[in-house]
A = this chain, B = another copy of it.
Amino acid sequence: METRKLKIAIFGGSGYGGSELLRILLFHPNAEIVLVTANEHAGKAVGEAHKNLSGLTDLRFEKAPEDLSALENFDVAFFALPHGQALKLVPQMPDSVKVIDLSGDFRIGDAEIFRKFYKLERDVNDLQKQFVYGLTETNREAIKGANYIANPGCFATATLLALAPVVKGGLLTGKIIVDAKTGSSGSGAKAAANTHHPQRMNSFYAYKPFEHQHVPEIEQHLREVGTFKNDFVFMTHSLPVSRGIFASVYLETTNILTNKDLKNLYEHFYKDSFFVRIVEGSPDINWVKTTNFCDIAAHSNGKQIAVFAAIDNLVKGAAGQAVQNMNLMFGFDEKTSLIFAGSNP
**Contact code string A182-209 (vs B, CB < 8 Å = 1, else 0):** 0111010111110111111111111101
* Of the residues B177, B191, B293, contact of A191 by C-beta under 8 Å: B191
Seed contacts A50-B344, A233-B304; 17 additional CB < 8 Å A-B pairs: A16-B345, A20-B344, A51-B344, A53-B344, A177-B250, A179-B248, A185-B345, A189-B196, A196-B197, A199-B242, A201-B201, A204-B241, A205-B246, A206-B281, A231-B303, A233-B250, A242-B345
Asked if B16 and A344 make an inter-chain contact with CB atoms under 8 angstroms apart, the answer reads: yes
Answer whether A235 and B306 are a contact pair too, CB < 8 Å, given A51-B344, A54-B287, A179-B248: yes
- Please list 26 pairs of residues, one from A and one from B, whose beta carbons are closer than 8 Å in the complex, sorted by A's number: A16-B198, A16-B344, A19-B343, A23-B344, A51-B284, A52-B342, A55-B277, A56-B341, A183-B198, A191-B192, A191-B195, A195-B196, A195-B198, A198-B242, A198-B345, A201-B201, A202-B242, A203-B285, A204-B241, A205-B282, A205-B310, A206-B297, A207-B281, A209-B299, A233-B301, A290-B343
Chain B residues lying within 8 Å of A199, measured Cβ to Cβ, are: 242, 286, 344-345
Complex-state Cα separation, A303 to B210, whole angstroms: 11
* Count class of interface residues, chain A: 35 or more
Q: Bound state CA distance, A341 and B289, in angstroms?
A: 14
> Out of B175, B235, B240, B308, which one reaches A197, CB within 8 Å?
B240
B202 to A286, Cβ gap below 8 A?
Answer: yes
Residues on B with beta carbons closer than 8 Å to the beta carbon of A197: 184, 195-197, 200-201, 240, 242
From B187, B195, B206, B241, contact of A202 by CB (8 A): B241
Residues in B with CB closer than 8 Å to A308 are: 205-206
Q: Does A243 contact B (CB under 8 A)?
A: yes
